[in-house]
Amino acid sequence: GAGASSRRRKPVLSAKERNLRRLESNERERMRMHSLNDAFQSLREVIPHVKKERRLSKIETLTLAKNYVMALTNVICEMRGEVLPYAAALGGDGDSVTSHSSGQPSPASFASDQSSMPTPPLDNNENS
């Protein structure tokens, strides 16, 4: 009966007001996506990979970043003489995690296609 109309809490918006809210919402979503895409681009710029002519997809970027962090973690643990936490995930026995000459992560340790990623540079400014 009469109580049904009194339960309504949202005021009925005019078409003009609904359109304005939709436009504002669309703009917020555009800004959010621009921010997210900028963050992905920043991540792409610090992940070593060879195929620079093709931009990495979002999933490729995240996967390579995850594997790169895991490989670097293994390098640090190996240098400290600790157990390699990601040896199995990155290729087994740990020998595939680092190159024998430099102690740097090998491309195989964070990319399934070895030709897609170079060995990352060493920071020569460290006092080691």
- Give every CB contact of residue 22 below 8 A, 6+ residues apart in sequence: none
What pTM value is reported for the model? 0.59
Q: Say whether 105 sits in a helix, a strand or coil.
A: strand
What residue spans define the domains of the chain? 15-116
Note the pLDDT of residue 2. Answer: 58
Cβ atoms of residues 90 and 70 within 8 Å: yes
pLDDT tens figures, 96-120: 434 333 444 444 445 444 334 444 4
Q: Give the integer Cα–Cα distance in Å for 91 and 97.
A: 7
Q: What value, to the nearest 5°, has the Cα angle with vertex 42 and ends 123 and 38?
A: 170
Note the pLDDT of residue 104. Answer: 43
pLDDT tens figures, 10-55: 788 999 999 999 999 999 999 999 999 999 999 999 998 777 788 8
